[in-house]
Chain A
């Protein structure tokens, strides 16, 4: 590829790419989630079939499309016909239909609530209420194809920033936009950049935080895998604005595809002269290195991340000296989340005011959520701030898959909280969610039905945090371990009301006295569940009851006589021979032997096993 020496070179390359863009193409989601659903074999089958028929319809293997739960998902453009759960054996029929301009009805998406079938992606309710801004180019861009990215307007923002704007002007646009950090803390990006820009040190760094440690959140992974150029463009603009010449993309170890794609994208940008010395002939030098994490949730915290980039363990430092004053190697350092950076090209191109016109008073723009749990439409969604939780869960998520009652929606991962049905009309907004006892967080949104035990959920998050705590400070290291012990007792039926009070007391101290954000927000899941689901704690403690049927010590498995057909399967599958019964007769579980593993319930086809 020829090196681009000027803005004109870039535009010439863009024109060439646009002229070569196929009108008709098939886009197949091939991110990690799609591959887990078997997209790779579908991809090979598609390529083979199209070649066999001599069709001029390229197959683009893109990042995960939003409807991850229905992967492999493919869309035929330009019309936007969407097929889901495609298998290799469906491919000949699909390609045949594409060639003839026909539709394969059985592979179309059907709305779970209404039963209505949709042909086109743009009509599907899942997409209608979304505002896919940073995720927008996902379906038409092959992650490493610079041509595809240019066709979407890629790097026009960078050119504008380098040639039409001064660094202070760029920062002003970001301040006007109201963009707040998408990693969870929600700090105003513009102010962070402004602070770093004012530091006189000639050596500054910019780091893209791709550590994404919240279990259940994979927005950043999707962006890094599917749209690496978009994130990198935002980063280069940021570097120019603050005066950094060296940058790092920190990717967590568990994301090999993302790491590979970002590295290759960087290599291509270097070849093109969009990274390195004298970018596009502007005189600005900037290069980026990819750094892999070692597997520690705490490294999502900025000072711990910086420590690990320095080759040390992820132990946070006292925070009253900000990273923008003294960060990596003691130099002014800007640390931004992946999604935050992905927003930057849009703000530069369309202006801060335009961005600020989306969202609420204090939370501008859009937010990407990884919607999961007990809903029909699991996947990645991007919504304007201010949309209500109800709209996300029902209009976009499709409602509760199990058909059972909604119980809670969890946001913010281990730093967030669980909100009950009464809070469903809250708008998605940093401060509103904070005030409600939860947190925006990085974007994990898990929907739970009545089969979730809120005490167990609290215990789950505390357990996670005890394993991830770096162990440096006393409140987090010791406090969380005792919180876990208390929750263990409660879920085992040995808790007392004093225990609940002690949880609140521990929560107060851990939240106030911990050294870093991990500790400070650690009590949120516990405190929010005590706030909204206190009755469940009381039931566990006073009545020794778990209404969701989750806490093993408080429930037992029973066979419902009316439903039991005596098929004998549970008898065979029970690992401890706790079930007795003759074939064709009603079976019985011996409570003394039962280890409550749940296998009998899983294998029973007649719904004859009940958790009481």
Chain B
């Protein structure tokens, strides 16, 4: 995110904390909102959160590394989520995921070097009849087959 300096960090953390009544028990939501602003949770950001919430850094760090919602590394322009819910799995989602890993050159959970794509798995988005489902930045693609993967990536790359 542009303009994310340490000074801004302090201000952002203060504002976000105020949303939750400055209550350190709302740590998970505070970190989520901050990640929405900055795209990821940097070291400086977590240190600032620890400072202002008065929660020891070791604890903040564990929360930031425990939950799937958080990433400590910058994310790609597009987040590609492959639904690996049971119904999608049975319809072959694992083959779609494999193809994506091959085409992008990263494993699920990683971001491509050019910071274009982050590949993730999600557990059931509840449109099982459309499986295998792939969501790119909130846009749903249903009945995805391994054959469609390359053109799908191409489409986003060329936008």
Q: A residues bordering B, Cβ < 8 Å?
A: 32-33, 35-37, 68-71, 213-218, 221-222, 253-254, 291-297, 308-314, 370, 372-374, 378-379, 410, 413, 444, 446, 448, 452, 457, 460, 464, 470, 573, 575, 597-599, 602-603
By Cβ-Cβ distance, the 3 closest A-B pairs, closest first, are: A294-B67, A69-B129, A295-B68
Please give the distance in Å from A339's CB to the nearest CB on chain B: 15
Q: Is B62 positioned at the interface, with any CB of A under 8 Å from its CB?
A: yes
Do residues A291 and B29 form an inter-chain contact, with CB atoms below 8 A? yes
Distance, CA A373 to CA B128, complexed state (A): 7
Q: Are A313 and B62 in contact (CB under 8 A)?
A: yes
Q: Residue of A at shortest CB range from B131?
A: A372
Show 29 A/B contacts (Cβ-Cβ < 8 Å), sorted by A: A32-B127, A33-B126, A33-B127, A36-B125, A36-B127, A37-B129, A37-B130, A68-B126, A69-B128, A71-B129, A214-B124, A215-B89, A215-B124, A216-B85, A254-B123, A294-B31, A294-B70, A296-B67, A309-B25, A311-B28, A311-B55, A313-B63, A378-B129, A446-B90, A460-B89, A597-B95, A598-B145, A599-B147, A602-B146
B29 to chain A, nearest CB (A): 5
B66:A314 contact, CB within 8 angstroms? yes
Say yes or no for B24: interface residue by CB 8 A criterion.
yes
- Nearest-Cβ distance from residue A215 to partner chain B, whole angstroms: 4
Q: In the complex, are the beta carbons of A597 and B98 less than 8 A apart?
A: yes
B: contact size bracket: 35 or more
Q: Is B140 an interface position by the 8 A CB rule?
A: yes
Chain B residues whose C-beta falls within 8 Å of the C-beta of A254 in the assembled complex? 122-123, 125
Contacts of B98 in A (CB 8 A): 597
User: Which residues of chain B have a CB within 8 Å of any CB of chain A?
Assistant: 23-29, 31-32, 55, 59, 62-63, 66-70, 84-87, 89-90, 92, 95, 98-99, 102, 122-130, 133, 140, 142, 145-147, 150
A-chain residues with CB within 8 Å of residue B89 when the two chains form the complex: 215, 460
Task: Report if A311-B24 is in contact (Cβ < 8 Å); known contacts: A448-B90, A452-B90.
Answer: yes
Least CB separation from B66: chain A residue:
A313
Q: Which of A37, A311, A313, A598 contacts B25 (CB 8 A)?
A: A311
Smallest CB-CB separation from A214: which chain B residue? B124
Contact: B126 with A32, CB < 8 Å? Answer: yes
Known: A291-B29, A372-B86. A68 touches B129 (CB 8 A): yes
Nearest A-chain residue to B121, judged by Cβ: A467
Query: How far is A218 from B122 in the complex, measured between Cα atoms in Å?
Result: 13
Contact A446 B86 (CB under 8 A): yes
Asked if residues A373 and B25 are in contact (CB atoms below 8 Å), the reply is no
Shortest beta-carbon distance, B130 to chain A, in Å? 6
CB–CB A373/B28 < 8 A? no
* A235 to B55 alpha-carbon distance, docked (Å): 32
Q: A33-B126, A36-B127, A71-B129 are in contact. List 4 more A-B contacts (CB 8 A).
A: A296-B67, A379-B129, A448-B90, A573-B147
Known: A373-B90, A446-B87. Is A68-B28 also a contact (CB below 8 A)?
no
User: What residues on A are CB-neighbors of B127 within 8 Å?
Assistant: 32-33, 36-37, 68, 71
Contacting A603 at CB < 8 Å: which of B31, B55, B125, B147? B147
- Report how far A101 CA is from B66 CA in the complex, Å: 57
CB distance from B36 to the nearest CB of A (A): 11
Which of B29, B55, B150 is close to A292, meaning CB atoms less than 8 Å apart? B29
Contact of A460 among B24, B27, B86, B129 (CB under 8 A): B86
Cβ distance A87 to chain B, nearest Cβ, rounded Å: 14
